[in-house]
Amino acid sequence: MRGHLIVVEGCDRSGKTTQCERLVQSLQEHGKDAELVKFPDRTTQTGKMIDSYLKQTSHLDDHAIHLLFSANRWEAMDALKEKLSQGKTLIVDRYAFSGVAFSAAKGLDFEWCRGPDVGLLVPDVVMFLDLTMDEAEKRGGFGEERYEKRELQMQVRKEFDKLMDDTWKMVDASQTKDQVHTAMLTIVNELPAPGPVRSGLWKETQ
């Protein structure tokens, strides 16, 4: 049986990365073959360009960087597909939803933003770590990277709202780390057995 493709989204400071790591560890401890995937993957050629853009050591046109983020996902698809069919469950820290939310928040056309990711693997579930901006800021300010600013993050949240549908699982990220972890683990454990790997993002309800 193939593994599940589990996407975790949320605004900055929501605890995504910490929780994704913990989820993978828990699943492994329970005997599941699970692996962490992170977008952007900053190690590849496109990833290095993205990294320098985010660290503000390079400038790129908004459309160009959007396409690079998408290319960074596309170049990973064959490998992810292979892993899923080998039975690996993939926990994916950000995906095309972040791609659209951040670029649209900067002012790019929402529909245009969806275009490059049409056809990506369809996740079995999207979990959204939900945290208000005030709670996010209480967690100790944003960092130095390009998008780590209150105004933009507020807009990103609005764009995420447009992408959500009733298949998304909202997780209250203001809970303790243990509570968030338990909520995420429960969602994963309740997923139905997966059917064949599905390509074709956005064509369904998302």
The footprint of ligand FDM (CB under 6 A) covers 39-40, 54, 69, 94, 98-99, 102, 147
Residue closer to ligand FDM (CB basis): 102 or 168:
102
Smallest gap from Cβ 17 to ligand FDM, in A, equals 7
Is the bond preceding residue 192 a cis peptide, omega within 30 degrees? no
Name which of 2 and 19 has its Cβ closer to ligand FDM.
19
Is 11 in contact with 136 (CB distance < 8 Å)? yes
Nearer to ligand FDM by Cβ, of 55 and 203: the residue is 55
Least distance between ligand FDM and beta carbon 39 (Å): 4
The CA distances from residue 133 to 16, 110, 124, 178, 205, in Å, are: 15, 22, 28, 21, 28
Percent helix / strand / coil, the chain, rounded to 5: 50, 15, 40
Question: Token digits for 116?
Answer: 């490059």
Instruction: Tell me how far, at minimum, the Cβ of 69 lies from ligand FDM, in Å.
Output: 3
State which residue, 88 or 94, has the beta carbon closest to ligand FDM.
94
The distance from CA 15 to its chain's CA centroid, rounded to whole angstroms, is 12
Q: Report, in Å, the least distance between residue 149 CB and ligand FDM.
A: 10
